């Protein structure tokens, strides 16, 4: 699971990667501040988090990791008690510390949830353009049909034959062929 720092995910029982892109955006916002201390903190945190993201492709050496970790931790600890947005970001990153680099330890984990957000983008755009649905039943239908559409897109399959099979199976009171899910 790659997530933003939404409270629901904090107690996730399995390992969880915190989306670094969300924190990079928060740090970039601090860079724009007039207060030099906050701006400098934002710039340093942004650079450190971007450095961390680059390691998704080329993992760090032990020496690079030790240097990064000590600099990053020192920076956070210096601002932890600050009563401003820099302190707020530092405390948030300290709380998420164990979830910031799961992608370095587990194969297949991304440092951001950008891929997941892109996958949901079609549904978000559809909802905004159509004003959504008017019932819970409509909501369930949309979430399911968009899930089938996205799964077919990922597997490079046509949606139409799968829907035809599902509808025919429904009217015959049979289980549809789900073999396409495992291809």
- Divide the 183 residues of the chain into consecutive groups of 10 and give the mean pLDDT of each group: 50 66 93 95 96 89 95 96 95 89 80 62 72 82 82 87 92 88 75
**What pLDDT, on a 0 to 100 scale, did the predictor assign at position 1?**
42
Strand, coil or helix: what is 85?
helix
**What pLDDT, on a 0 to 100 scale, did the predictor assign at position 105?**
84
* Domain of 163, in residue numbers: 114-182
Instruction: Give 48's contacts (C-beta < 8 A, 6+ positions apart).
Output: 68, 71, 72, 75
Closest CA to 75 of 36, 48, 53: 48
CB 163 within 8 A of CB 148: yes
CB 163 within 8 A of CB 147: no
Q: 22: alpha, beta or left, given left = phi > 0 and alpha = psi -120 to 50?
A: alpha
Instruction: Please say which residue of 105, 129, 145 terminates a domain.
Output: 105
**What pLDDT, on a 0 to 100 scale, did the predictor assign at position 32?**
94
How far is residue 144 CA from its own chain's centroid? 21
Q: Report, in angstroms and rounded to the nearest whole number, the Rg of the chain calculated over CA atoms.
A: 22
Shared domain for 19 and 89, answered yes or no, is yes
**What pLDDT, on a 0 to 100 scale, did the predictor assign at position 108?**
74
**What pLDDT, on a 0 to 100 scale, did the predictor assign at position 117?**
57
Shared domain for 178 and 126, answered yes or no, is yes
**What pLDDT, on a 0 to 100 scale, did the predictor assign at position 130?**
81
Q: How far apart are CA 100 and CA 45, in angstroms?
A: 13
Shared domain for 80 and 120, answered yes or no, is no
**What pLDDT, on a 0 to 100 scale, did the predictor assign at position 140?**
82
Shared domain for 59 and 88, answered yes or no, is yes
Instruction: Give 135's contacts (C-beta < 8 A, 6+ positions apart).
Output: none
Q: What is the pTM of this model?
A: 0.62
**What pLDDT, on a 0 to 100 scale, did the predictor assign at position 119?**
61
114: which 2 tokens? 């950008």
Shared domain for 78 and 32, answered yes or no, is yes
**What pLDDT, on a 0 to 100 scale, did the predictor assign at position 5?**
56
Shared domain for 33 and 95, answered yes or no, is yes
């Amino acid at each position: 699971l790659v997530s933003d720092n939404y409270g629901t995910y904090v107690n996730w029982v399995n390992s969880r990667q915190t989306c670094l892109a969300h924190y990079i955006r928060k740090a970039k916002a601090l860079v724009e501040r007039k207060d030099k201390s906050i701006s400098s903190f934002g710039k340093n945190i942004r650079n450190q988090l971007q450095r961390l993201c680059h390691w998704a492709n080329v993992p760090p050496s032990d020496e690079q990791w030790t240097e990064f970790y000590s600099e990053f931790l020192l920076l956070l600890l210096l601002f932890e008690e600050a009563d401003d947005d820099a302190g707020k970001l530092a405390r948030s990153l300290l709380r998420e510390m164990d979830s910031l680099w799961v992608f370095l330890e587990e194969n297949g984990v991304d440092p951001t949830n950008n891929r997941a957000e892109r996958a949901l983008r079609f549904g978000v755009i559809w909802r905004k353009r159509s004003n959504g649905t008017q019932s819970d039943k409509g909501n369930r239908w949309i979430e399911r049909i968009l899930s089938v559409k996205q799964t077919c897109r990922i597997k490079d399959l046509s949606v139409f034959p799968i829907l035809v099979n599902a509808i025919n199976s429904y009217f015959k009171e049979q289980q549809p062929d789900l073999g396409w899910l495992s291809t």
